[in-house]
């Protein structure tokens, strides 16, 4: 049962990460190609900024339960007196990796938003 849930979580994390990377890339591309044409283009970065903060928090909150799931699986294997056929550490590693990627994207979008604000205000 734990293994199916684990596979579901890994699959969901990779698919949702891929989706949000594509959305962030599309919106950032739109921003950088149309920034000179309109004053309202800067507001296109608000959605990715909010979503990336939410995804960082989701990853951060779920690292602990992923570690607990891994620990429980190892305990169950040890109790049943056999070696685990595979490691369940991938989920924890992916959560850290995606959280770091989201943080880099967030900081880049925030820099672009603030720089555009400074350029627009004449600073």
- DSSP letters for 9-49: HHHHHHHHHHHHHHHHHHHHHHHHHHTTT-SSGGGGGHHHH
Whether residue 72 is contained in a domain is answered as: yes
Domain count for the chain, please give it: 1
Whether residue 16 is contained in a domain is answered as: no
Whether residue 89 is contained in a domain is answered as: yes
Q: Each residue of 81-108: pLDDT tens digit?
A: 887 667 788 999 999 999 999 999 999 9
Whether residue 32 is contained in a domain is answered as: no
Q: Which two tokens stand for residue 104?
A: 């880099």
Q: Provide CB contacts within 8 A for 63, sequence distance 6+.
A: 92, 95, 96, 99
Q: Each residue of 16-40: pLDDT tens digit?
A: 999 999 999 999 999 888 877 777 8
Domain span at 76:
1-9+43-118
Whether residue 69 is contained in a domain is answered as: yes
**b/e per residue 5-44 (b: at least 16 CB within 10 A):** ebeebbeebeeebeebeeebeebbeebeeebeeeeebbeb
Please give the model's pTM, rounded to 2 decimal places: 0.84
Whether residue 109 is contained in a domain is answered as: yes
Whether residue 73 is contained in a domain is answered as: yes
CA-CA distance, 120 to 123, in Å (whole number)?
A: 8
Whether residue 14 is contained in a domain is answered as: no
């Amino acid at each position: 049962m734990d293994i199916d849930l684990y596979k579901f979580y890994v699959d969901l994390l990779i698919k949702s990460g891929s989706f949000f990377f594509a959305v962030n890339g599309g919106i950032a591309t739109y921003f950088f190609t149309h920034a000179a044409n309109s004053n309202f283009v800067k507001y296109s970065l608000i959605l990715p900024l909010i979503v990336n903060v939410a995804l960082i928090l989701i990853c951060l909150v779920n690292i602990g339960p992923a570690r607990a799931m891994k620990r429980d699986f190892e305990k169950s294997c040890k109790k049943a007196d056999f070696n685990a056929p595979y490691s369940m550490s991938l989920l924890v590693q992916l959560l850290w990796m995606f959280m770091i990627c989201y943080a880099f994207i967030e900081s880049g979008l925030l820099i672009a938003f603030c720089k555009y604000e400074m350029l627009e205000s004449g600073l």
